[in-house]
């Protein structure tokens, strides 16, 4: 019976991703973000449960990537589609209503469709991950959940920070296009990033992880959602620093 527990947790990630996708399509991006966060929570704990119960399986590995494709692949693509659509309508206040889907031409406008480059890049990244035996204790390229947090942070910053400068930056078409291509690159780059997988709870073996978690928590408390892009940047920089200095994060 215990071997089904991790897979059940993974299926909860699938459920959250499906609900998040519905909210994202309806342009309720805050609700989409809530269910994405829940999905990522389940994504973290399914692997932890499998290790604690010693029931790792190939089925679990494949199921995990399929769940990630929904929560951390499809949803961020839809969110970027909506943000690019908002950038065409004159601002985030105008974009709070559902996107006009009364005609095919409204749905298939070229600029918003660029958002699905993130979905395609996520699919390619997850496919590579499934056949790469070198990504056990670390990642090659930005993990899809981290990339999703980056993309989902944008509407949360818009809706929760009453700052015209931030609004203008986030809803600038060139900024969103640039971020879309940067996201696709980071997902499939050769940058080696440490994983938040604890083999034990000792500080010596997990110093980098503990420092990252502490800095992240402090940033979230002090900056709110605005901290998320800085946390992702810090994650990339500290990983590069670890590799350059030859320190171990395993």
Q: Are strands 192-194 and 138-140 parallel, antiparallel or unpaired?
A: antiparallel
Give the CATH number for residue 82: 1.20.120
Last residue of a domain, one of 190, 206, 235: 190
Distance CA(185)–CA(197), nearest Å, equals: 24
Asked whether residue 109 falls in the same domain as residue 205, the answer is no
pLDDT at 96: 43
Last residue of a domain, one of 142, 166, 190: 190
Distance CA(234)–CA(193), nearest Å, equals: 11
Contact indicator for 211, 241 with CB cutoff of 8 Å: no
Cα 66 to Cα 47, 55, 62, distances in angstroms: 14, 19, 6
Q: What is the extent of the structural domain holding 89? A: 2-190
Give the torsion through C-alpha atoms of 181, 183, 188, 189, to 10 deg.
90
Upper half-sphere CA count for residue 174 (Cβ side, 13 Å): 0
Asked whether residue 132 falls in the same domain as residue 178, the answer is yes
Distance CA(207)–CA(16), nearest Å, equals: 32
Asked whether residue 235 falls in the same domain as residue 131, the answer is no
Residue owning tokens 């406008």: 109
Q: Which helix (H) or strand (E) holds 194?
A: strand 192-194
Asked whether residue 184 falls in the same domain as residue 200, the answer is no
Asked whether residue 123 falls in the same domain as residue 204, the answer is no
Asked whether residue 181 falls in the same domain as residue 199, the answer is no
100 DSSP assignment:
P
User: What is the residue-wise DSSP string for 110-159?
Assistant: HHHHTTHHHHHHHHHHHHHHHH-TT-SSEEES--HHHHHHHHHHHHHHHH
Task: Choose among 11, 16, 3, 149: nearest CA to 76.
Answer: 149
Asked whether residue 205 falls in the same domain as residue 236, the answer is yes
pLDDT at 135: 66
| pTM for the model | 0.88
Asked whether residue 150 falls in the same domain as residue 226, the answer is no
Last residue of a domain, one of 172, 190, 208: 190
Print pLDDT tens along the chain (250 aa). Answer: 777 888 889 999 999 999 999 999 999 999 999 999 999 999 888 777 777 777 777 787 888 889 999 999 999 999 999 999 999 886 554 444 444 555 666 677 889 999 999 999 999 999 998 887 766 668 899 999 999 999 999 999 998 888 888 989 999 999 999 999 999 999 999 999 988 776 666 667 678 889 999 999 999 999 999 999 999 999 999 999 877 776 655 5
Asked whether residue 128 falls in the same domain as residue 219, the answer is no
Q: Coil, helix or strand for 230? A: helix
Asked whether residue 113 falls in the same domain as residue 218, the answer is no
pLDDT at 98: 46
Asked whether residue 155 falls in the same domain as residue 77, the answer is yes
Asked whether residue 22 falls in the same domain as residue 123, the answer is yes
Phi, psi (5° rounding) for residue 36?
A: -65, -45
> For the chain, what is the domain count?
2
């Amino acid at each position: 019976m215990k071997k089904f527990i991790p897979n059940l947790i993974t299926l909860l990630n699938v459920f959250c991703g499906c609900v998040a996708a519905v909210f994202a399509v309806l342009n309720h991006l805050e609700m989409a973000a809530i269910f994405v966060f829940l999905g990522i929570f389940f994504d973290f704990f399914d692997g932890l449960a499998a290790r604690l119960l010693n029931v790792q399986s190939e089925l679990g590995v494949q199921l995990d990537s399929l769940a990630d494709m929904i929560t951390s692949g499809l949803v961020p693509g839809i969110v970027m589609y909506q943000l690019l659509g908002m950038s065409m309508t004159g601002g985030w206040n105008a974009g709070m209503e559902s996107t006009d889907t009364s005609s095919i031409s409204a749905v298939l406008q070229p600029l918003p469709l660029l958002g699905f480059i993130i979905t395609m890049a996520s699919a390619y990244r997850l496919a590579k991950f499934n056949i790469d035996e070198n990504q056990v204790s670390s990642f090659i390229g930005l993990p899809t959940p981290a990339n999703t947090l980056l993309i989902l942070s944008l509407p949360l910053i818009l809706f929760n920070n009453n700052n015209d400068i931030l609004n203008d930056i986030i809803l600038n078409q060139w900024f969103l296009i640039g971020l879309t291509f940067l996201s696709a690159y980071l997902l499939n780059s050769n940058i080696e990033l440490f994983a938040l997988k604890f083999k034990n709870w000792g500080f010596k073996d997990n110093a980098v992880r503990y420092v990252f978690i502490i800095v992240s928590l402090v940033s979230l408390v002090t900056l709110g959602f605005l901290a998320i892009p800085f946390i992702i940047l810090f994650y990339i920089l500290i990983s590069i620093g670890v590799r350059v200095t030859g320190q171990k994060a395993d």
